[in-house]
């Protein structure tokens, strides 16, 4: 992949914004309470939250801020867990946190931080999982019931016509809308 201007690889993001100037290289020795290596989402979030708690933080990045996976991803906010909701419920049943809270925490943090810091990321709420077949639709209906059973709000089953209003296509059997999912740019 050839580098775009400013040292980022070509991506929708790098090619569609005015890139900020490069930051200066670290010179000499510096002191901090915490040094974080890597300015992707993980390092940036850790740095931000630690700084808000009063720590002196140095964040080191070998390339550019957001150069790694964070600057190349699809921007989709999709709630859910690989292990499934029931697994998570059983696993965390002793720690006093509901599976609904865990399920939605990431998205809530993203909305709260982008609003508080006025981050211009064009957040669009809503994520739809579409079904090609009735069998797939039954699977989505079961998922919707599971969310209801665990008091996870924001999910709505859509039939073929309702889904068409969202996606502009009639090829799908229906879908499951997650109103707490979304997309950022």
Ligand X SMILES: Cc1cc2nc3c(=O)[nH]c(=O)nc-3n(C[C@H](O)[C@H](O)[C@H](O)COP(=O)(O)OP(=O)(O)OC[C@H]3O[C@@H](n4cnc5c(N)ncnc54)[C@H](O)[C@@H]3O)c2cc1C
List residues near ligand X by CB under 6 A.
37-43, 60-63, 67-70, 72-76
Q: How far apart are CB 104 and ligand X at their closest, in Å? A: 14
Whose Cβ is closer to ligand X: residue 105's or residue 138's? 105
If DSSP codes are grouped into helix, strand and coil, which group holds residue 101? helix
59 vs 140 by CB, closer to ligand X: 59
Nearer to ligand X, 78 or 148 (CB): 78
Cα dihedral 111→113→115→120 (10° resolution)? -90
**3-state SS record for 24-56:** CCCCCCCCCCEEEECCCHHHHHHHHHHHHCCCC
Place of tokens 């996606």: 167
Is 79 or 174 the residue whose CB approaches ligand X more closely? 79
Task: For the CB of residue 148, give the shortest distance to ligand X in the complex, in Å.
Answer: 25
Instruction: Give the contacts of 155 (CB within 8 A, at least 6 positions apart).
Output: 143, 144, 147, 148, 176, 177, 178, 179
Residue 68 Cβ vs ligand X, minimum distance, rounded to whole Å: 2
Q: How far is the CB of 61 from ligand X (least distance, A)?
A: 5
């Amino acid at each position: 992949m050839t580098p775009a201007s400013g040292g980022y690889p070509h991506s929708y993001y790098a090619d569609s914004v005015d890139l900020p100037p490069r930051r200066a290289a670290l010179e000499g020795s510096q002191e901090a309470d915490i040094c974080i290596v890597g300015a992707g989402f993980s390092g940036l979030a850790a740095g931000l939250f630690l700084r808000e708690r009063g720590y002196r933080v140095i964040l080191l990045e070998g390339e550019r801020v957001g150069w790694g996976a964070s600057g190349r991803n699809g921007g989709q906010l999709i709630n859910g867990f690989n292990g499934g909701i029931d697994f998570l419920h059983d696993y965390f049943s002793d720690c006093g946190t509901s599976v609904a809270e865990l399920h939605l925490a990431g998205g809530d943090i993203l909305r709260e931080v982008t609003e508080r810091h006025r981050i211009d990321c064009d957040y669009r709420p809503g994520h739809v999982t579409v079904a090609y077949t009735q069998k797939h639709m039954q699977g989505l209906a079961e998922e919707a019931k599971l969310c209801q059973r665990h008091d996870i709000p924001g999910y709505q089953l859509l039939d073929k016509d309702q889904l068409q209003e969202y996606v502009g296509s009639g090829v799908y059997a229906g879908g499951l809308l997650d109103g707490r999912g979304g997309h950022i740019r």
